[in-house]
Structure 1
Amino acid sequence: MSRQPTWDMACALQADMFRETAALGSLDIRLVYYRGFNECRASGWISDSARLATLMSKIDCRGGDTQIGKVLSEARREAVASGVRAVVFVGDAMEEKVDELCAKAGELGMLKVPVFLFQEGHDAVAEKAFREIARLTGGAWCRFDPGAAAQLRELLRAAAAYAAGGREALLKLAKSTSGAAKLIGQMK
């Protein structure tokens, strides 16, 4: 997962996701995170931004390898069980076998669940893997600068608009924000 400053920024900005979708309908979020040695957890479904912020504020970052494969597997299970419409991943590194991640991403793509990957920093290995996951799922990859709250806010708003209102909602938002335009420009 990404470093603590980005995590704190995501905690502060997630309320924007809920606000963006208020006019389009509700947004339920399931927080899946990993950290440390082999720890990967998922919350229940959350539709209240204050509750999500409280939950996120209790999570601290710990050293360890990435566990993106577990996140993609969880997303697939939920897509089959409850009709997940989109997955948002915020991270800065990838330390797994890219072919295994691509197989999981391909399964999500077959279920028509786009993955939006927002990368902090310039790790070339992560970028290559994130771009491929986005391509295989019909999602999108975008980089944001460390400490750039406005960039991440715009990307999260765009992903939330898609999750709540589909491609039409994202197209509408793309008329007024560059983050949405970046996503729609990459989606199939």
Structure 2
Amino acid sequence: MSRDALVDRKSSRKEIASFLKAARNASAAGQSDGRIVLALDATMSRQPTWDLACSIQADMFESVAGLGNLSMQLVYFRGIGECRASKWVNSGAALAAVMSRIDCRGGHTQILKVLRHAAKEHARRRINALVFIGDAMEEKVDDLVQAAGELGMRGVPVFIFQEGGDPIAETAFREIARVTRGGWFRFDQASAAVLARLLKSIAVYATGGLKALERRNTREDRLLLAQISGGKDSDR
């Protein structure tokens, strides 16, 4: 073997070793690609807080800096049987652009379609969490819980932010969160800042897992950890 060939082989071995070391370090640091389905009720009752939800989602991407890459897909329902999903995006600006083109329209909830869509997406490629923001539930609870339970068995937690105080919706939303080991939270205009911080915590969880939440250890991180571990539900 020539001297040049020997040098090239040694160089290649060093590059491979460096790559493997970097990969191990990234793994140890909890770095990964997180994928979140963000589902929104876009029926008419949600119009007052739609713009608010649009304005706070961008921070989710910023919160995972140093942990890995975050991708999100918007799913929304409105009108008569309309339920659509966007392409996967990896920046707050791209997601905001999608959301800005959507207006709220009258119609009934289609939460079952959202849950089934999440299951299909997960079958194609793992998703780390489903986030749903809504204020009503007009479907059969048993159907929703069954679909949610299937997500839970596949390791996909559902985090629900409920607007208003509809007791029927609250019962269903709490149960969906419970069977998926996700979380239920109250959401209104007064608690927008809390919602923003909780969404950041969910992004950190989706990208870095439980250890990333434990390391960061903000109030919202601890609240999310309590929910995931089966703690008490929170009104905030």
Class of the TM-score when normalised by the shorter of the 2 chains: over 0.9
Counterpart for residue 67 of structure 1: 110
Query: SS at 1:45's partner residue?
Result: coil
Deviates more, 1:147-156 or 1:102-111: 147-156
The match for 1:161 among 198, 201, 204 is 204
- From 173, 176, 186, the equivalent of 2:218 is 176
Deviation by residue 1:105-131 (Cα, 9 ceiling, x = unmatched) = 010011000001011121111111111
Moved over 3 A (4+): none
Kindly report the root-mean-square deviation, in angstroms, between the aligned alpha carbons of the 2 structures. Answer: 1.3
Counterpart amino acid of residue 8 in structure 1: D
- Trace 1:143-162 onto structure 2 (pairs within 5 A): 143-162=186-205
Question: Secondary structure at the residue paired with 2:159?
Answer: strand
Q: What SS does the corresponding residue of 1:40 show, helix, strand or coil?
A: strand
* Identity over aligned pairs, percent: 56
Contact 1:27 1:47 in 2 (8 A): yes
Question: What is aligned with 1:26?
Answer: 69
Rounded to whole Å, the distance in 1 between the matches of 2:47 and 2:60 is 20
1:100 to 138, 143, 148: 143
Q: Distance in 2 between matches of 1:130 and 1:167?
A: 23
- Aligned length, in residue pairs: 186
Q: Give the partner amino acid of 1:5.
A: P
TM-score normalised according to structure 1 size: 0.94
Q: For 1:94 and 1:47, locate their aligned partners in 2 and report how far apart those are by CA, in whole Å.
A: 30
Map 1:3-82 to 2 at 5 A: 3-82=46-125
2:16 corresponds to:
none
Residue equivalent to 1:186? 227
Match of 2:35 in 1: none
TM-score between the two structures when normalised by the length of structure 2: 0.76
Q: Give the secondary structure class of the aligned counterpart of 2:145.
A: helix
Unaligned 5+ runs, structure 2:
1-40, 230-236
Q: CA deviation at 1:90?
A: 0.8
1:16-72: per-residue Cα shift (whole Å, max 9, x none)? 100011221111001000001100000111002111101101111111110000000
Paired amino acid for 1:38 = G
1:136 and 2:179 correspond: yes
The alpha-carbon deviation at position 184 of structure 1 amounts to 1.3
SS at match of 1:75: helix
What amino acid sits opposite 2:176 in the alignment?
I
Match of 1:124 among 167, 170, 182: 167
Deviation at 1:147, TM superposition (A): 4.5
Aligned equivalents of 2:69, 2:207: Cα separation in 1: 7
